[in-house]
Amino acid sequence: MKSFKGFLGLGIAAALAAATFLPSATIAQDTSTSAASSGKSEQWIHVRVESKEDHGETVRVNVPVEMATKVLPAINKNNLHDGKVRIDSMHTNDVDLRVILDAVRSSRDGEYVTVQSNENDVRVAKSAGYLYIHVTDKSDSKKAAGKDGKTGAKSSSGNGSKVEIKVPMKVVDALLSAGKDELDLVAALKALSAHGDTELVTVKDNENTVRVWVDSKNLAE
């Protein structure tokens, strides 16, 4: 009977130990629940790269926007400081990129640049609060046409790389809100987060597909 008491004591001690574990488990559950419940407002940046080459590489990256805004200021390396990136070449070939973006920002909706050539098609436009940049590179399809003859000519309509960038103007504003020759990445991310679901970048060519988008899901599609 007395040894039973000893085992009973052991049982109580084990129960105490279990109780010690319980709070941390409960906290973990609470955190998970609160994260899940607030999941609707959380925005995630997703990057997906799919390669059609030999081994068919696929890269999926999902980063919470909030995490990026907190971590970026902690990185101080090369041109990146305090969440701002210093661009030494804002004046490229006597073209002031900042002035151009500023001009686009303050202008009305419209098509600003349209270039159609044998090599590329370029379109820069502003519409309904978004800046659109579309570039179609036809050089690949020409090479393919040169190589394949008839087949190449047929494929030239579908080949070549295509880049589509769609950025909310508020994000452009935020990006340019830093000092001269600087881009404020953190401000841009915050603006992006407030903007809601957005498809940012799509790049397609014969070998790769790249997609960057923002939504409230914590998993890539």
Partner 1 sequence: MLVLGKVALGLGATLAATGAYVFHEGVIRVDVDEHRQGGSHVHFWVPATVVATGMHFIPKDQLNHTTAEVRPFLPVLREVAKELEKYPNAELVDVSDARNHVRIAMEGGRLRIDAVSEDGDVVHVSVPARVLGDVADELEEKAPGV
Binding site for partner 1 (CB under 8 A): 2-3, 5-7, 9-10, 13-14, 16-17, 20-21, 24, 28, 31-32, 35, 51, 54-64, 66-67, 70-71, 74-77, 218-220
Nearer to partner 1 among residue 31 and residue 107 (C-beta): 31
Residue with Cβ nearer partner 1 (71 or 115): 71
Shortest distance, position 38 Cβ to partner 1, whole Å:
9
Nearest Cα to Cα of residue 113 among 99, 104, 105, 139: 104
Shortest spacing between CB 26 and partner 1, in angstroms:
12
Question: What b/e string do you get for 126-151 counting C-beta neighbours within 10 Å, with b at 16 or more?
Answer: beeebbbbbbbbbebbbebbeeeeee
CB of 30: closest distance to partner 1 in angstroms? 10
Between 32 and 116, CB nearer to partner 1: 32
Residues 6 or more apart from 62 whose CB is under 8 A from it? 44, 45, 46, 47, 218, 219, 220
Least distance between partner 1 and beta carbon 118 (Å) = 35
Min dist. Cβ of residue 191 to partner 1 (A): 19
Residue 96, token pair as written in the block: 């002031």
| CB closer to partner 1 out of 70 and 154 | 70
Q: Per residue in 56-74, is it b (16+ CB within 10 Å) or e — as a string?
A: eeeeeeeebbeebbeebee
Q: Please identify, using beta-carbon distances, which residue of 31 and 127 lies nearer to partner 1.
A: 31
